[in-house]
Structure 1
C-alpha cells in the first residue's frame, strides 16, 4: 500500500465523505421534496454536515496513519477457508455500533449535555435527508472514536469496513426521510419490529425521550424507550 501524508488523507477523505453525503441526501431530497421550498433548518443541517465531514475525514486520516504504522487490525487478505469472517465481522460491527450509538445518543439527551452534543441535530423537528449527517461537532467526534476503536480491537477486512461505512450512510439517509412525505409504514413490514426506519426515527425528532437506536429496535425495547403506539402501528389490520 502506498503511503501518503496525514493531510493528503484529510483532503481526499473530506472530498469523498462530503460528496457521498451531498449525492445521497441530494438525490433523496430531489426524489421526495422537490416540490417544497428549502427550509432554514435544511441550510443549518448542511452546515453541520460539512463540519461533520471534516471531523470524520480527520478521523479517517488518523485511522490510515495508524494502519501504515501497523497499529490497527485492518487487513486486505482473505482466504477461501475463512471467507465467512467477512459477513460475521460485518454483522458484529453493526451490532456493536448500534449499542454504542444507543448509549451515547441517550446520554447526549441529558439536559446538561444536550446543548453541547446534540441540539444542532434536533433543529429539524421534521427531519429531511439533509439531517442524516448533521451531527454537532462534539457528537461527530464521539461517533468517529467508535470507528477508530473498532479497527484497533477487531480484525476487519478493508471491504468490511467500507460496507459498514456505506450501510451507516444509507441507513442514516433512509431514517431521516421524514413522515410528511411518506406513509407511516414505509419501509416497514414484519422486519419493522426489529429494524429502525424513517417512521421509527421521525418519532424521535418529535418526542426526544424515545427511539434512540441506530439500526435495530432491540435496545429501545429492552430499556423501555420505544413508543408502544409505534409497535401497535406495525400490526396488520384486522379484517
Structure 2
C-alpha cells in the first residue's frame, strides 16, 4: 500500500492537503491518508465494478424471484456504504504496519529467472493460503453462536445482485478479508503483486454475486441453493 500512498502524497496530499511542515512519514498523517485512500478506493472499486456487473452480467430475470426483496438493490448499496468505513478502520491499521516496515512485502524481483519463479510461486501460495483460511473463517461464521449477529445480515440477500458483494456486517467483512492482509506478514510477496491481488479479490467478490450460479436453474422451481 506504500506504492499508492507515495503516489497520493506526491500528486495530492502534499501539494494540496497537508501543511508543508508535516512530514510524509509521520504516523498520524499516514494513518489519515490511508483511511482516505482505503475508503475512496473501496467505493470507486465497488460502484464501478458492481455497476458494470449489474448491467452487463447479472441476470435481471432473477429480480422476479419471490425471494428477491423489495428495494433490494438500494438496500444492498446502503448496507455496503454504511459498512465499508467501519471495515476500513482495522484494515488501515494493518496497512499502517505494512508501510512502517513490519511486513515481508518487497519491490525486488531478484535475478531472472529465479526472481520470476519466486513471484509466481508466491502468487500461487497467496491464493492457496487466503482461499483456505477464508473457507474456515466463513465456516466459523456459520456457527450458531455468531451466525445470527455477524453473518446472517449477508445472507438476507437470498438472490444477491453484484451490489451485495460487500454488504457485510463490518466484523464479518473484516474477518473474511483478514487472510489477504495476514499473508504478507508471514510470507514474502512483491508489492505490486500484493496490490494487484488485493484489487482482483475485490473484483472476484463482486463476480461471485452476479447471479451466474442461478442461470442453469429454472427461475421459479424452488431449487435455488446458492446463498452467497
Q: TM-score range by the shorter chain?
A: 0.7 to 0.9
* Structure 1: gaps of 5 or more residues: 185-201, 207-239
Matched residue SS, 1:205? coil
Partners of 2:132 and 2:183 lie apart in 1 by 13
The residue that corresponds to 2:77 in the other structure is 46
Give the greater-gyration-radius structure (CA).
2
Partners of 1:51 and 1:88 lie apart in 2 by 37
Q: Is the 8 A contact 1:132 1:173 kept in 2?
A: yes
Partners of 1:94 and 1:126 lie apart in 2 by 27
The residue that corresponds to 2:103 in the other structure is 72
Q: CA shift at 1:53, angstroms? A: 2.7
Partners of 1:102 and 1:45 lie apart in 2 by 23
In the superposition, the TM-score normalised over structure 2's length comes to 0.72
Could you report, residue by residue, the CA deviation over 1:157-211 in whole angstroms, capped at 9, with x for unpaired residues? 1122123223312222221111587335xxxxxxxxxxxxxxxxx73318xxxxx
The residue that corresponds to 2:221 in the other structure is none
Q: Is the 8 A contact 1:117 1:138 kept in 2?
A: yes
Partners of 1:86 and 1:120 lie apart in 2 by 38
The residue that corresponds to 1:169 in the other structure is 202
- Which structure is higher in RCO with an 8 Å CA cutoff and minimum separation 6? 2
* Structure 2: gaps of 5 or more residues: 7-24, 218-223
Q: Is the 8 A contact 1:90 1:163 kept in 2?
A: no
Q: CA shift at 1:143, angstroms? A: 2.3
Among residues 200, 209, 215, which one is paired with 1:182 in the alignment?
215
Among residues 31, 35, 39, which one is paired with 1:10 in the alignment?
35
Partners of 1:135 and 1:124 lie apart in 2 by 11
Structure 1 stretches of 4+ with a deviation exceeding 4 A read: 33-39
Matched residue SS, 2:103? coil
User: Is 1:57 paired with 2:81?
Assistant: no
User: Is 1:98 paired with 2:120?
Assistant: no
The residue that corresponds to 1:152 in the other structure is 185
In the superposition, the TM-score normalised over structure 1's length comes to 0.69
Matched residue SS, 2:174? helix
CA separation of 1:56 and 1:82: change in aligned 2, threshold 3 A? farther
Q: CA shift at 1:104, angstroms? A: 1.3
- More off after superposition, 33-42 vs 125-134: 33-42
- More off after superposition, 165-174 vs 23-32: 165-174
Q: How many residues align?
A: 189
